[in-house]
Amino acid sequence: MIQNKANVLSLNIKTGCTPLYSACQKKHPEIVNILIQNKANIETRNNDECTPLKTACYEGHLEIV
């Protein structure tokens, strides 16, 4: 997707979640690394004011944290 110029900053309209947020929530550390290397914003908050880091911590995904 990155090679095809996918927007790593895109938001889900209903939730405000970014691809980085979803990767952190669903425990995909390889995807997290790729998104961050491609300038995904680690500070973006979803509609519940949660950041991707906060979500990874909450879910217990220490390898992402």
Instruction: Kindly list the domain boundaries of the chain, sorted by start residue.
Output: 1-65
Q: Which single residue is written with the structure tokens 């996918």? A: 6
How would you label 38-56 residue by residue, b for 16+ Cβ within 10 Å and e otherwise? eebeeebebeeebbbebbb
Q: Residue 12 has what pLDDT? A: 80
pLDDT reading at 1 higher than 60: no
pLDDT reading at 6 higher than 80: no
Mind listing the pLDDT tens digit for each residue in 15-59? 989 999 999 999 999 999 999 998 899 999 999 999 999 999 999
**Which superfamily, per CATH, for 1-65?**
Ankyrin repeat-containing domain (1.25.40.20)
63 pLDDT band (50/70/90 cuts)? very high
CA angle 50, 6, 39 (to 5 degrees): 55
Quick one: DSSP state of residue 59?
A: H
Q: Residue 3 has what pLDDT? A: 58
